[in-house]
Amino acid sequence: MKVFLNPGHAPDGKPDPGAVNNETGLRECDVAMAVGKSAESYLNAAGVETALLQSDSLEEICEAANSSDADIFVSIHCNAADAEEANGTETWACAGSYRGSMLADCIQNQLVDALDTTDRGVKIATPGVNGLYVLTNTDMPAVLVELGFISNSDDEKILANNQDALARALARGVTDYECSVQ
């Protein structure tokens, strides 16, 4: 199996760092890249081939994923909200993708179990309604993981201090999925 990992937003935050915690300065692009690189290492150690790309161009990401011969696509993000009490982990899959939903369930379960975050569940992106570009423009089962809310003080601590645990859980979710489809 081959996994295409997409840490969200622009490398080094230029021009778009994604969400930023106003108090600590923690940036989504940095968390996503750290978790993505660590997850890549864990997956490689488990014998899973990977490709990783962080880019500000959604078109470039989808083109690279579609030409990579990857079996699955995982985009890694941090959520944010104006309401500081918003918290938890959620994973998105594309409407109509049975395998995408299976992958989302596996990753969501591992993240919530490992880090005891609020389980916001698996969400479905519907093209033309709330379709997330990378989910609707990749040719393989695809998910977008929102690890936690960078705007919430408790979630921010997890995102800042538990990146290795997030990466291990994400990698376990991928290998759980791999076992369930064989």
Examine residue 15 and say whether the peptide bond preceding it is cis (omega within 30 degrees of 0): yes
Q: How far apart are CA 143 and CA 14, in angstroms?
A: 24
Question: Would residue 65 be called left, alpha or beta, if left means φ above 0 and alpha means ψ between -120 and 50 degrees?
Answer: alpha
CB-CB contact of 69 with 140 (8 Å): no
- Residue 135 is classified by DSSP as H
Q: How far apart are CA 62 and CA 139, in angstroms?
A: 9
Can you tell me whether residue 149 is helix, strand or coil? strand
pLDDT digits (tens, 9 = 90+) for 143-154: 999 999 999 999
Band (pLDDT 50/70/90 cuts) for residue 112 is very high
| Percent of the chain residues past pLDDT 70, beyond the cut | 100
Q: Beta strand 89-94 with 142-149: parallel, antiparallel or unpaired? A: antiparallel
- What confidence score (pLDDT) does residue 146 get? 98
- CATH class for the region spanning 2-181: alpha beta
Beta bridge partners of 75: 6, 144
pLDDT digits (tens, 9 = 90+) for 28-77: 999 999 999 999 999 999 999 999 999 999 999 999 999 999 999 999 99
Q: How far apart are CA 17 and CA 169, in angstroms?
A: 24
